[in-house]
Chain A
Amino acid sequence: MTFSRELEAKFEKLITRYPPGRQRAALIPMLLYAQDEVGAITQEVVEEISRRLRVTPLEIEEVVSYYSMLHKEPRGKYHFQVCTNISCMLLGGQELFEYLKGKLGIDNGGVTPDGLFSLEEVECIGACSWAPALQVNYDYHHFVTRDKLDRLIDDLRKVQ
């Protein structure tokens, strides 16, 4: 399997960053970047990376199943990650999460039928002082309110 030119270039650089014989160190970044492009850690991705880094599929499974950001199932185009950890919880993070569930009509880990949105309750994302916070894919949203959420979702729908 082949990746986009940009990604291939990235991989090339990645592998040179680590001491000789230690190219396995590139595994987790490669998996995450490949997932960003492909949408999930598919069997093909596993086989390809296994070949390139000379690690067995089992060794990759050990890693993929460990890290919470790595996933084998595709997610929505916009992946909502709502922090409900303590600082956010104190300022309504939990309620926001429940609100989103209702609004998107999906449960934790769910994907909307149109594949546009997916939802995940996440642990602290390092935005405690600007809580409640959430991430849509890699973008941070601070001091989130229901109105802000409504507007955000409308905008994302419009982009379509």
Chain B
Amino acid sequence: MAGLVKLTIDGRSVEVPAGTLVINAAKTAGIEIPAFCYYEGLALQAACRMCLVEVEKAPKLLTACTLPVQEGMVVHTDSPKVAEARKAMLEFLLTNHPLDCPVCDKGGECELQDMTFRYGAGESRFLEQKVHVPEKQFSPLVYFDAPRCILCYRCVRICDEGLGVKALGVVNRGVSTEIGPNAGDHLECDECGMCIDICPVGALTSGRYRYRTRPWEMEHVGTICTHCADGCKTTLGVRNGAIIRANNRNRSGLNGEFLCIKGRFGFDFTEHPERLRSPLVREGDGFRAVSWAQAVALVARRFGEIRSRGGRFGVIGSNRTTNEENYYLQKFARRVLGTNNIDHPRTGDVAALVDALAGRPGAWATTADFYQTKAALVIASDLAQQHPLLAFQLRANWRHHGLRLYVVTPGPVREDQYSVRSLRAPEAESLAAAQTLAEELRREPELVVLFGDAVKGEAVRRLVEFGDSLGIPVKYVCLVDYSNSRGAADMGLLPDLLPGYRPAAEPGLALPEMLADPALEALWVVGANPLKDASLAAEAAFVVVQDLFLTETARRADVVLPAASLYEKSGTVTNVCGEVQRLAKALSIPGTKSDLEIFGMIARAMGAEIGPARPEKVFEEIRTSVAGYNVPLPVLATGGAAQAAPSGGRLPVKWRPELIRPARNTLFRSGSLGRYSKSLNIVIESPGELYRA
């Protein structure tokens, strides 16, 4: 953008880059110009007319939301003329708008209410019959009440421009104009609920939240979404120990205001009736509820026996537990149980990328890169479904900066809408197919490469070699599937790699090997469900399972320990880009304990000395001992994300690509946990399908 432009707003002289809109120029001077239809990042509308300002030498008031600054321009936002116009616009807006604020779901956080309070008249001169139309249910999650709608078109734009779904449109004309759904009388879309959040009034409301509380009665806890690996900050609205809403209106976190259906509605598993609320021990074919003391004692005793006779342990960690828990668990396994038989359900080959990028910490892409990079290459992932935030970032980048996107997938994906090239290739051949793009990619100034589980083991190095051959700066993201899949690998939930990818002296058994080993004497499964589609060879093995629900694996357990979910604990998680973020405990479910706490109890009962089981203490140890994790605490403390880029040397390990088994989650699936979220299952789009665009 060209040089700076000087103008005067309300007597204050302001200097902003040429092309800046007056509404934003004013912001830089701390002057607020009210607006409904103007929304940063979305197309201009100039429909609500709230932002009218007086510009000297202009015959009439102009909309600050569409007016680019000009040298020497003199703007008044506080003149009687402007005040009068605002008052008039609000009066118009309120004529057909119901005035039942006390019973409106949006009451208390309604922009129309606030504006009227600030700029409106105290009374209405409108004494006619209001236009009325009945409320509609667009989907189980999205309701629309036309009379409340002020037609700012934010929802239409976020759905079209932001998501690329275009499920909302404008129908009818004049005063009967309404927002309409894409499937006749209902919506068929991502059910992300962005339209609900972005609605300034009570027109679009959430099927899960509406009329359940007043906003000010909630406690707002900003934490990290437990579902996919993108690591969106989600602000949970908690009341009486229950989560009733999730959004991120304050735009904190690396996702700004973005959330997909999982982040916005998928929290309801916490209150699912089948949630485990007490430890269980096997009794015949069934279970008996016991106290925590009894359960822990039992586990400690059996672990102790098996250890003393040198019996074989297997430990399977989780994609959803915190870094602290993962670190502590592997430490427990290796120090206390004396085994390297530890693993987790791997959904992407992070280790292989660590190896290929040895000594290049700068080559790990961050979430911000997706919005900034000039070019990106997606290999074998249905981003819009598997990584909604990354997809959103890339689309925004394309809209705002003209990103050049290349796509190589087995089937159609939404990114095809704007990609410069889309190639179709079976996952196995996707790397080869990507390499055919060399000529075009070489012409790009820079590149970010996102690759799914199809590229693993040796293929990862070949990919990076290909990147090097382009002669341009290239950054990478190894796409993994769950909220802390990355952290599980970083923290050494691997048989051959210790935290920070330090090679283990002698590698232990990998997950499938544990399940297949008849000689296994104890299997300890934490927040994973390996027996969902496999069986345990060691019939006699003593099985301990920590989980939220009685999963297929838990049903086989001898002891089941009810665990707390990510929303019910503190600690840190690491997202797909290696960005570490801190959790905030939003609630606690009676009868459950965090996995870390459980580890601590078992350790104590076994008389093991592996340090205090407190998140801060464990994280301190992680920072000092795990390569790349020496992240600045203040950043985390203030809700920021700090990237941990492992940058050790090459890894002397044998690649086992067959161990990478992707979750293949869609927007409406989230592994075993997803089955317990009503929201994810009641929408008609559920369960969804990959590569169907």
Contacts and interface: CB of A to CB of B under 8 A. Distances in A.
Within the complex, are A and B direct neighbours (CB within 8 Å)? yes
B70 to A, nearest CB: 33
A12 B339 CA distance: 74
| Interface residue SS majority, chain A | helix
A56 B173 contact: no
Interface in B195-221: none
| Interface residue SS majority, chain B | loop
B182 A58 contact: yes
Nearest to A46: B184
A59 B172 contact: no
How large, as a class, is the contact surface on chain A? Answer: under 10
A137 interface: no
A56 B166 contact: yes
Contacts of A110: none
A73 B181 CA distance: 20
How large, as a class, is the contact surface on chain B? Answer: 10 to 19
A138 interface: no
B173 A61 contact: no
B170 interface: yes
A132 B11 CA distance: 58
B392 to A, nearest CB: 21
A59 B182 CA distance: 8
A65 B173 contact: yes
Interface string B570-610: 00000000000000000000000000000000000000000
Interface string A43-70: 0000000000000111101100110100
Nearest to A59: B169
B172 A66 contact: yes
B648 to A, nearest CB: 51
Contacts, number: 26
B99 interface: no
Contacts of B166: 56, 58
Contact of A56 (B170, B172, B182): B182
B682 to A, nearest CB: 23
B487 interface: no
B260 to A, nearest CB: 21
Interface string B442-460: 0000000000000000000
A98 to B, nearest CB: 24
Interface string A79-101: 00000000000000000000000
B171 A62 contact: yes
Contacts of A56: 166, 182
B182 A62 contact: no
B674 interface: no
Interface in B626-670: none
A56 B183 CA distance: 10
A66 B173 contact: yes
Contacts of B180: 58, 61-62, 65
A27 to B, nearest CB: 14
B172 A58 contact: no
Interface of B: 166-167, 169-173, 180-182, 184
Interface of A: 56-59, 61-62, 65-66, 68
16 contacts: A56-B166, A56-B182, A57-B182, A58-B167, A58-B180, A58-B181, A58-B182, A59-B169, A61-B169, A61-B171, A62-B169, A62-B171, A65-B171, A65-B172, A66-B171, A66-B172
